[in-house]
Amino acid sequence: MNLKKVLSMMLLGFLLFSCGNDKSNTKQDDVKVEEAPFNYNVEQFADVKILRYQIPGWDNLTLKEKKLVYYLTQAGLSGRDIIWDQNYKHNLKIRKALEQVYTNFKGDKTTSNWAAFETYLKRVWFSNGIHHHYSNDKIKPDFSADYLKQLLAETNTVLEGEAFDVIFNDVDSKKVNQAKGVDNVALSAVNFYGEGVTNKDVETFYASMKSPDPNKPLSFGLNSQLVKENGKLKERVYKSGGLYGAAIDEVIKWLELAKGVAENEAQANALGLLISYYKTGDLQTWDDYNVAWTAATEGNIDYINSFIEVYNDPLGYRGSYETIVQIKDFEMSKKMAVVSDNAQWFEDHSPLMDAHKKKNVVGVSYKTVNVAGEAGDASPSTPIGVNLPNANWIRAAVGSKSVSLGNIVEAYNNAGSADRLKEFVNDPEELELDEAYGQTADKLHTALHEVIGHASGQLNPGVGETKETLKNYASTLEEGRADLVALYYLYDPKLKELGLVDDWEKTGKAAYNAYIRNGLLTQLIRLNLGDEVEEAHMRNRQWVSAWVFEKGKADNVIEKITRNGKTYYNINDYAKLRTLFGELLRETQRIKSEGDYKAVQALVEGYGVKVDQKLHAEVLERNKQFTSAPYSGFVNPVLEAKTNDAGDIIEVNVIQPETFAGQMLDYGKKYNFLLEVN
């Protein structure tokens, strides 16, 4: 599971320190050129801001470690086209046509039409397809079909039929449709299912499948497309020689090289199993790999690679292609390891029913890492924390790995603006708390969400996996449950006792203020007026916040304030709010443990979907004054391998890309391994 949501840089102060020397007596040879501050910002368009991130500690890696990172990064990028095809059947055809136009058009580029075309292409690049990366709505171009036809003609580019029409019409308008009471599969444009496949087809097809060991259920449907051929349902498996085989073969090639420079035997064995999985598509091998990968905790380099998160499947079966290559941040990992070391304490002291608590929380490893490269569903829009594997039985029997992406969080923090915060806080005290404790609170929320949250709780005996029992609500329930674990402990003196904070009470208050403010107000800037909440994480933040607001009304725990026509929320009783978070956590775990579909539907639909349109209009109006985009994503540093005459890598250098378009076009040329139709 991942959380899409800190450290201060001390280098500048160090460089400015002169040790008391008189500049007039300083020899020329002793003068050091002061480095310019790193520029995190690349550009902004539509509702998106593009950032850069650094790779701290790169120069401290050995050549062997740099090779490993390079090979793993190349493996990830080699599968990049897979996520495009998974997101929508016409994405690759559309992207390649638009890129050809962008590269070859020699006409007037000063017009508003060209600017609109360029913005549309950048939005498509950012979302890995023609549907918005967060709202799932189809991106609407601000140019006409006639203008695109003109561009296609002038660049000798072919884009016709359904692939052309869909850019401008209302067909396939929602990538993932999570609405209540509809056929979610039939109404979702995501390319996990073929024409004519319905919710009932999916449920019936997988209901007949049985795992060899009922206690270790296989992840049926994770790595395949389900289609109808001559009226019969059939899986097209993602593997070498199967669906996406050409790209997967390239992934395998680079993983083989990575295995050859693995840091230790456990890491090499895990890579070998991943390679075998890609070759065969066998789900038992996938589980074997996850067990081995989870246990391989030694070494400086780690990675996430394959078909993993199921948010893009309306029924939660199929995994989107995703890769993240990670370098351990030793200092921060050592400090934060205390969270995983005390996982059992957190479980024992949680408000869950005793039957739902794990008696032996095992193998929860936590690291702060620095990202070296991302691809697929993790790029350009990236998580800030990840906890894997997703299989409940592996979590219970072997454990899990949790990481916080430290340099990504740092980039966000250094590229942001406090102006929007000042607009939506209720009073100066709330602002001061956020400025003093907000980053610490956010970092701890990520750690507790990933390490304790996703690792907490257990299913009742005989209850199926949540994708089977909770269906289209499984993802938002799980993310909300993990948030609630984090929220419950963010206002706990145990954090001070463990040395994680200087002031647990103020840190907790900052965390609660930010969560309620975001869940009930500021996240609405991401929606168009009239929209309901669709995305799983947005839904969970709203249903958590709205539930505790309503349940606390009798005691005025959270007060809704209107001042000068503007709405604010003020927390009057943090201790009672923590109690409410605990009550909701207990209920969400019960829902998951028992597989209570009616209860999760009532919770999500009752609190997490509907939007107060008057409040939404107000929030959008208040937000108009800010130029900073509501969404951010990243270009990746380019890893450039230098070789000798024999072709051996002698160094790997890090180069920062100058433009977003430049990197996207480069990726399109270098990692173009799939056909337009697969």
Q: What is the pLDDT of residues 527-565, one digit of tens each?
A: 989 999 989 999 999 999 999 999 999 999 999 999 999
Q: What pLDDT, on a 0 to 100 scale, did the predictor assign at position 127?
A: 98
400-405 sheet: strands from edge to edge: 2-3, 385-388, 400-405, 364-376, 321-328, 301-307
Q: What pLDDT, on a 0 to 100 scale, did the predictor assign at position 362?
A: 83
Q: Identify whether 124 is part of a domain.
A: no
Number of Cβ within 10 Å of residue 617's Cβ equals: 13
- Is the peptide bond between 217 and the residue preceding it cis, with omega within 30 degrees of 0? no
CA distance 312 to 85: 12
- Which residue segment(s) compose the domain that 509 sits in? 332-363+417-630
413-417's contacts with Cβ under 8 Å and 24+ in sequence apart are: 413/6, 413/439, 414/9, 414/38, 414/40, 415/40, 415/41, 415/49, 415/51, 415/632, 416/628, 417/626, 417/628
Q: Identify whether 621 is part of a domain.
A: yes
Q: What pLDDT, on a 0 to 100 scale, did the predictor assign at position 31?
A: 44
CA distance 409 to 411: 5
Total number of domains constituting the chain: 1
Q: Identify whether 284 is part of a domain.
A: no
Q: What pLDDT, on a 0 to 100 scale, did the predictor assign at position 530?
A: 92
Q: Identify whether 184 is part of a domain.
A: no
Q: What pLDDT, on a 0 to 100 scale, did the predictor assign at position 417?
A: 62
Q: Identify whether 584 is part of a domain.
A: yes
Query: What residues does 374 pair with on adjacent strands?
Result: 324
**Quick one: DSSP state of residue 49?**
E
State both tokens at 387: 């906890």
Spell out the residues 6+ positions from residue 59 whose beta carbon is closer than 8 angstroms to its own.
Answer: none
The answer to whether residues 495 and 489 touch, using CB atoms and an 8 Å cutoff, is: yes
Q: What pLDDT, on a 0 to 100 scale, did the predictor assign at position 365?
A: 84
Backbone dihedral angles phi then psi of residue 226, each to the nearest 5 degrees: -100, 120
Q: Identify whether 573 is part of a domain.
A: yes
Q: What pLDDT, on a 0 to 100 scale, did the predictor assign at position 416?
A: 62
Q: Identify whether 223 is part of a domain.
A: no
Listed in sequence order, the DSSP H helices in 536-659 are 536-551, 574-594, 597-604, 613-623
CA distance 194 to 197: 6
> Of how many residues is the chain composed?
678
CA distance 160 to 94: 10
Q: What is the pLDDT of residues 16-43, one digit of tens each?
A: 222 333 333 333 344 444 567 899 999 9
pTM of the model: 0.84
Q: Identify whether 481 is part of a domain.
A: yes
Segments of the chain scoring below 50 in pLDDT: 4-33
